[in-house]
Amino acid sequence: MRLRDLAQSLTVLSDEAVWPDAELTGITHNAAWVEPGNVFVAIRGARFDGHQFLQDVAARGAVAVLGEGLPDGVPSPLPYLQVASARAALADAAAALAGHPGRELKVVGVTGTDGKTTTSWLTRHLLRAAGLPTGLLSTVGYELPDGELRHFPAHFTTPEAPQVQATLRGMVAAGGAAVVLEASSHALALDRVRGVPWAVAVWTHLSAEHLDFHGTLENYFADKRKLIERAPFAVLNADDPWTAQLRGIAPAEVTYSAEGQHADWQARGVQETADGLRFEVHSPLGHFAAHLPMIGRFNVANALAGMAAAAHLGATAEQLVAGLASFRGVPGRMELVANPSLAAGRAAPRVIVDFAHTPPSLEKALSTLRATTVGQLWVVLGSAGGPRDPGKRAPLGEVASRLADHAVFTEEDHRDTPLTDILAEMERGARQVGQSNFVSIPDRAAAIAHAIHAAQPGDTVLLAGKGPEDTLERDGETLPWNEGEVARTALAGRGG
């Protein structure tokens, strides 16, 4: 695409005389990523203003700049195209340069505080079981229709609009017909998914999180609500109080409930068994029995949401039943760590890795495991540092010590925040409810080993907070991390 064509597809406020007839190779808002032929989008952020890098991007071979207006006294060495919103222009331009790949796919967006990753993976699996080649873009990674899980390079911690569009183009090239995209509140607020044409929007659940970014719970809700506003069809959780404010926004909708609320999709007679969850589904497709081989009663709601979305795209009841029964879970979401002793039928502690990192999600995870634990329940957890929701540290300590028999407080991406401060807050939360069943061990690997070595056969050890993440941020360093591998090493150290 040539720059003039791109400029004409956007709402550019500057004179056409400044638009050179250059061939474009890409677009980015990060000066360090600029390559020859790129358009650079100068975004004014909380810490940096992209306009301070104009000389750098010109030297790297950029051909033009998009921005909301040059600051006083700052000349541009490149043609400058003024737009009303730099982030919106980044998203729109990225979609145009990629050839609008979302228009060639049926895109299912999933948002919510808890449950969106599992729901995304379930929906992807159900669509594939129905014969629709489906890709996935989630916080765990992304998959083309071939089913191989991939990860963005480390410098793409959160995919921006150009990476989202490039990934969608890759899915089309690989023969994809649909994609399930996990839409975070940051992605919606910062227009990272603005250029995505949604076919279905799924709402899971809302609770307080990321308030350091959104400011208030109402702002957080408003940003997540954008997904429902932009989709022609919505799948809404009738068990979530916030859903009342979402009804009627999308042109068409269905509701689901795992807790007995009146809804289009309902689960009844839920049973937690040794081989997973069994329940009756009452739906627009009829009534049928379902089996989901996962731990955790809360996953019934995730299954209903996925079934409702897949059914809207053509899946039959028979395909949904078969798809649920063959689902093997999500890495780092109630993931059972392989233990040779358990596999051989010998008594040993059960070790679970789960991403639970908010007080509500931790409470769900511990309550679920308590119901299926023969012995005592252990939990190892930390809380993120920096400005990431410091108000949840004490509540996490309270929930952990109240619901588990033993709590081990440790690190979890404390970044530049003194770890002693985070641990002290978690300990304070435990003491506020009169608990003393905790210990703080700063090194996460040592904390995991402590719990696994101390646990007895029949006990359950929950490793909470990190889930599938492959890095650990400590004192300004980013270290490689694999929670499951650390757990397996500890298990081997106690003799399996």
Please state, in angstroms and as integers, the Cα–Cα distance from residue 241 to each residue in 182, 235, 244, 247, following that order.
21, 15, 6, 11
Cα–Cα distance, 14 to 178 (Å, whole number): 38
Instruction: Establish if 221 belongs to a structural domain.
Output: yes
| Residue 25: inside a domain | yes
Would you state the pLDDT for residue 212?
59
d(CA 412, CA 465): 7
- Are 63 and 24 in contact by the 8 Å Cβ rule? The answer is yes
Q: What angle do CA 106, 153, 224 make, to 5 degrees?
A: 45
One domain for residues 241 and 276: yes
Q: Is 186 found in the same domain as 68?
A: no
Structural domain span for residue 179: 101-325
* 388 or 473, greater pLDDT: 473
Residue 496 pLDDT grade (very low, low, confident, very high; cuts 50, 70, 90): very low
167 assigned ligand-binding residue:
no
Confirm whether residue 124 is marked as ligand binding.
no
User: Same domain for 264 and 300?
Assistant: yes
- CATH code of the domain in which 86 resides: 3.40.1390.10
In tens, the pLDDT along 250-294 reads 999 999 999 999 999 999 999 987 678 999 999 999 999 999 988
Calculated CA dihedral for residues 284, 286, 291, 292, nearest 10 degrees: -10
Asked whether residue 339 falls in the same domain as residue 304, the answer is no
Residue 422 and residue 413: Cα distance in Å, rounded? 11
Q: Is the pLDDT of residue 343 over 90?
A: no
Q: Which residues does 411 contact at the CB level (< 8 Å), separation at least 6?
A: 382, 419, 422, 442, 443, 444, 447, 472, 474
| Gap between the Cα atoms of 199 and 191, Å rounded | 18
Do 307 and 345 share a domain, yes or no? Answer: no
Query: Containing H/E element for 300?
Result: helix 299-312
Number of domains in the chain: 3
- Where among 325, 358, 382 does a domain terminate? 325
Residue 365's contacts (CB-CB under 8 Å, 6 or more residues apart) are 296, 334, 352, 354, 356, 462, 464
23 within a domain of the structure (yes/no): yes
- CATH number for the domain spanning 224: value is 3.40.1190.10
Within this chain, do residues 358 and 244 fall inside the same structural domain, yes or no? no
Residue 111, annotated as binding a ligand: no
49 is in an annotated binding site: no
| Residue 226 annotated as binding site | no
210 and 237 assigned to the same domain:
yes
Residue 114 assigned as binding residue? yes
Kindly state whether residue 303 falls inside one of the protein's structural domains: yes
The answer as to whether 267 is a domain residue is yes
For residues 294 and 316, membership in a common domain is answered with: yes
Residue 260 lies in a domain: yes
* pLDDT value at residue 113: 85
Q: 367: annotated binding-site residue?
A: no
319/366 same-domain check: no
CATH classification of the domain holding 373: 3.90.190.20
Say if residue 361 carries a ligand binding annotation.
Answer: no
The domain boundary, picked from 272, 297, 325, lies at 325
Of the three residues 325, 354, 376, the one that is the final residue of a domain is 325
Q: Work out the average pLDDT over 195-221.
A: 83
| Rounded-to-integer distance, Cα 19 and Cα 35, Å | 19
Instruction: Write the pLDDT tens digit of every residue in 126-144.
Output: 999 999 999 999 877 888 8
The predicted-structure confidence for 443-479, as pLDDT tens digits, reads as follows 999 999 999 999 999 999 999 999 888 889 998 889 9
417 is in an annotated binding site: no
- Does 112 carry a binding-site annotation? yes
Determine whether the annotation assigns residue 466 to a binding site: no
Q: Is 330 inside any structural domain?
A: no
3-class SS at 462?
Answer: strand
Q: How confident is the model at residue 17 (pLDDT cuts 50, 70, 90)?
A: low
- Together in a domain, 226 and 348: no
pTM, 2 dp: 0.77
Q: Are residues 145 and 230 in the same domain?
A: yes
Residue 28 counted as domain residue: yes
Do residues 88 and 108 share a domain? Answer: no
